[in-house]
């Protein structure tokens, strides 16, 4: 990712980190972000009002006192109805006609009047956005009629992840907005220069301090993605740690001579989120199970060669 000029930050708690942990663009970068957003929306063919949670005219539904909890409960039912035991595969045909999906769709209409800033803690907000991301992906696969992959078509992933969106508190929020702008502290898309939200974008107020473990909680409806789980504020730390350990143990391999480290492409795209190559090795040492691997990585951190596995973007459907 290309580094962006940043406006002056508040006092820091460590090198390069603001108290909020959220990156804010300079005025020059604001103009770049606005131009990029207009350009991408035009070529991807989506408008500011295109969202998947517009209630049909005349719809009547009960309003939850806690929409985040209602969403979590509905997603629990979706998981039971259409996901396999691993959380890696979805039966979209079954999901499309299930009462659980109908109930979930009703919950999404309530997001129009729900401000996630009202949630009591960063953990609650993080769990909410992870759950919403994973649910929106499944909803979009059905709504857009995806058959083989979410990256098919003229613009591939840029089209799907920007077109798939909900209305939240009166604002359009896409998958890219959730991942790049909110859960990654406004760090921007790894394949595009600059940050994600302008400094005056109201969605920036929802941005959260970066926790790189969220990369192993987000499922993009593809076979190389981490499994789908339902997250809660109360168990968030434990859940993220478990998701990270499981993903690292399944997707990181070290050759016997301790010369080549084979990794998921996620670690290449978001290397900066882990503190660059040096920080990534430290992160892996913290999450790999073997003491031998820890010693090998630490002693050879300057000579290790990284090899990235091709990402399998095939749809995570049980039918493929």
Going residue by residue through the chain (320 aa), what tens digit of pLDDT does each one get? 222 333 333 333 333 334 358 999 999 999 999 998 888 888 778 888 899 999 888 777 777 788 899 999 999 999 999 999 999 999 999 999 999 999 999 999 999 999 999 999 999 999 999 999 999 999 999 999 999 999 987 667 778 999 999 999 999 999 999 999 999 999 999 988 899 999 999 999 999 999 999 999 999 999 999 999 999 999 999 999 999 999 999 999 988 778 899 999 999 999 999 999 999 999 998 998 777 677 888 888 888 999 999 999 999 999 87
| Count, residues in the chain | 320
Report d(CA 116, CA 114) in Å as an integer: 6
Distance between CA atoms of 225 and 266, rounded to whole angstroms? 9
pLDDT of residue 13: 32
Q: Specify the pLDDT at position 216.
A: 98
| DSSP reduced 3-state for 152 | coil
The predicted pLDDT at position 293 comes to 77
Measured over all CA atoms, what is the biggest interatomic distance in the chain, rounded to whole angstroms?
A: 66
Distance in angstroms (rounded) separating the CA atoms of residues 257 and 49: 55
Distance (Å, whole) CA 212 – CA 183: 9
| CB within 8 Å of 280: residues ≥ 6 apart | 267, 271, 274
Contact 231, 129 (CB under 8 A): no
Its pTM stands at 0.91
Print burial letters for 276-296: b (CB count within 10 Å at least 16), e (below 16).
Answer: eeeebbebbbebbeeeebeeb
Q: Cα 204 to chain center, whole Å?
A: 16
């Amino acid at each position: 990712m290309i580094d962006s000029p940043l406006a002056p930050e508040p006092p820091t708690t460590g090198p390069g980190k603001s108290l909020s942990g959220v990156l804010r663009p300079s005025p020059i970068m604001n103009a770049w972000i606005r131009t990029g957003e207009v350009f991408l929306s035009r070529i991807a063919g989506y408008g500011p009002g295109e969202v998947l949670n517009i209630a049909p005219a005349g719809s009547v539904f009960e309003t939850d006192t806690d929409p985040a909890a209602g969403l979590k409960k509905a997603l629990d039912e979706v998981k039971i109805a259409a996901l396999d035991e691993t959380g890696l595969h979805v039966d979209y045909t079954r999901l499309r006609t299930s009462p659980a999906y109908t109930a979930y769709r009703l919950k999404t209409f309530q997001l129009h009047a729900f401000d996630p800033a009202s949630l009591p803690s960063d953990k609650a907000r993080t769990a909410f956005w992870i759950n919403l991301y994973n649910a929106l992906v499944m909803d979009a696969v059905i709504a857009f009629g995806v058959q083989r992959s979410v990256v098919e078509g003229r613009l591939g992933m840029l089209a799907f992840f920007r077109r798939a969106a909900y209305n939240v508190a009166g604002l359009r929020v896409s998958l890219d907005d959730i991942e790049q702008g909110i859960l990654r502290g406004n760090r921007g898309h790894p394949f595009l220069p600059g940050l994600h939200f302008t400094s005056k974008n109201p969605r920036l107020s929802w941005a959260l301090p970066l926790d790189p473990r969220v990369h192993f909680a987000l499922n993009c409806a593809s076979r190389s993605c981490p499994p789908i789980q339902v997250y809660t504020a109360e168990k968030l730390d434990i859940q993220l740690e478990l998701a990270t350990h499981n993903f690292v143990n399944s997707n990181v391999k070290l050759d016997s001579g301790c010369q080549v480290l084979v990794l998921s492409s996620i670690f290449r795209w978001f290397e900066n989120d882990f503190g660059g190559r040096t920080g990534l090795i430290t992160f892996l040492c913290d999450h790999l199970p073997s003491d031998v691997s820890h010693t090998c990585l630490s002693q050879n951190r300057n000579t290790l060669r990284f090899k990235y596995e091709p990402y399998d973007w095939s749809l995570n459907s049980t039918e493929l």
